[in-house]
Structure 1
Amino acid sequence: MLLAIDVGNTRIKSAVFEHNTLLELFVFEHKEVIEKINFILKQYPKIATLVVSSVGNLDKNTFDYFKERVKVYPISRESDFPFQNLYSSPETLGIDRMVLASAATLQFPNQNRLIIDAGTCVTYDFVNQNDQYLGGAISPGIRMRYEALHHFTAKLPLLGCSNPENFIGNTTQESIHSGVVNGITLEIDGFIEQYKAQYAKFIIILTGGDAEFLAKRLKNTIFANSNFLLEGLNQTFQYNQK
């Protein structure tokens, strides 16, 4: 039994796996990490391994606390991945993007894959049918767009995410919702169209905290899985064991 832990920019997601079956999902704040993992280990005493990837600001020694009870396996650039990394600056490629590319390569063999992770940022990552990672793009996520409109203006309010009632917003609040939600939706569809112009066929995987919210708004056919990164951690660990 394995506990996969994804330390993100804003929160931590983790999942308990029995082989390839996800048994339970947990989401918590950075400050709760010791307490929550202790709780999970008590609930699932058969957990033998913690598999960790981190892009957040969490002390890298935090998980040493658990080394006497379980094996701690951090996924890093030194880990083995099932793709050839053609990124021009591989030392700057986020571990989260590498794990997503790994999951796409292992789950969807012998085809082109576009992975879109809609979280704090929206990341686009492309792995071709020859298992070569080519790169992608990074843009602000939904929450970041709302916060930017508030923090970099004098009077615009800070709003929570909401579906706009109309494409043409007739109040300031509705205009913000329209700009943010329609803007990010049109961006994602636009990126997909650019890939379509270059690649005749590819699978689109949408993941991240905002995946479910965005999935029903996109015009393109996608495979939506908000837990794709956690599955990737589990699969990348298994790949390294083999």
Structure 2
Amino acid sequence: MLLAVDIGNTRIKAAVFEDTVLAEKFVFDKNDASVEAEKIFQKYPKIAHSILSSVGKEQDSLFLLLKEKTKMFGVNRDFTFPFQNNYSTPATLGIDRMVLASGAVMQFPGCNRLIIDAGTCVTYDFVDSENKYQGGAISPGLRLRYESMHNFTAKLPLLYPEMPDKFIGNSTAASMHSGVVNGLLYELEGFISQYKQQYQDVTIILTGGDADFLAKRLKNTIFANSNFLLESLNFLYLYTIKK
């Protein structure tokens, strides 16, 4: 069994895999990392391998625990990835984006892929049909948009994502919800349309913490999977051990 761990900007996500089957997913706070990981090992004592990726500061206690209990693979830029990296500044490309690109290549072979990760930030990553990573875009996610309006203005309240009832907001809260949610939806539709105009046979993959919230409201046909990064870690592990 494999334990895949993704250390994000705000939380840690983990999943136990038996080959390509996801047995169970876990989400916990960074401060509880080692305690929660111990619980996973108690529940799944057959875990022998682990793979970890991090966009922020690694949790030392979690790192040591994984090394103690498993054969651990820490994803870094020295990994062999299943795509050619054409980013002009490859050393600045986030590990999470590289993992997502790898998963897209392995799960959707032979086509152009646009991976949209709707988390703290929204990242757009494009890998063409020849498995060449071309780049993408980064913008603020839903929560960042709400928080920035609250933090950088005198009177706007701190709100949390909520689908607006009407397009025209008839209160401050309704106006903020309309601006943030509809604004991001229009952004997503715009990016997707732009890629589809420029490339044929584009597979759109939507993932991240806000994937489910956004997916049902998008007009374009997409493949929505909030677990795609964890699944991509598992596929990258399988790819690595085969290499």
Tell me the TM-score normalized by structure 1: 0.98
Amino acid at match of 2:170: N
Cα separation, 2, equivalents of 1:62 and 1:78: 21
- What is the aligned partner in structure 1 of residue 53 from structure 2? 53
Query: 1:15, 1:23 within 8 Å by CA — same for their partners in 2?
Result: yes
1:133-172 equivalence runs, <5 A? 133-172=133-172
- What is the aligned partner in structure 1 of residue 3 from structure 2? 3
1:44-83 equivalence runs, <5 A? 44-59=44-59, 62-83=62-83
- What is the aligned partner in structure 2 of residue 190 from structure 1? 190
Query: 2:5, 2:51 within 8 Å by CA — same for their partners in 1?
Result: yes
Per mean C-alpha deviation after superposition, the further-off stretch among 218-227 and 54-63 is 54-63
Q: Is the alpha carbon distance of 1:33 and 1:197 closer, same or farther for their aligned partners in structure 2, counting shifts above 3 Å?
A: same
- Structure 1: segments with no counterpart, 5+ residues: none
- What is the aligned partner in structure 2 of residue 122 from structure 1? 122
Query: 2:146, 2:159 within 8 Å by CA — same for their partners in 1?
Result: yes
- What is the aligned partner in structure 2 of residue 237 from structure 1? 237
Amino acid at match of 1:190: G
Amino acid at match of 1:54: S
Q: Is the alpha carbon distance of 1:4 and 1:224 closer, same or farther for their aligned partners in structure 2, counting shifts above 3 Å?
A: same
Q: Deviations over 1:26-63 (max 9, x none)?
A: 00000010000000001000000121000023345741
Aligned residue pairs total 242
- Structure 2: segments with no counterpart, 5+ residues: none
Cα separation, 1, equivalents of 2:42 and 2:100: 29
Cα separation, 2, equivalents of 1:12 and 1:223: 23
Q: Give RMSD over aligned pairs.
A: 1.0
- What is the aligned partner in structure 2 of residue 132 from structure 1? 132
Cα separation, 2, equivalents of 1:223 and 1:177: 25
Query: 1:30, 1:58 within 8 Å by CA — same for their partners in 2?
Result: no
1:195-206 equivalence runs, <5 A? 195-206=195-206
Cα separation, 1, equivalents of 2:60 and 2:195: 36
Query: 2:33, 2:59 within 8 Å by CA — same for their partners in 1?
Result: no
Cα drift, residue 139 of structure 1? 0.2
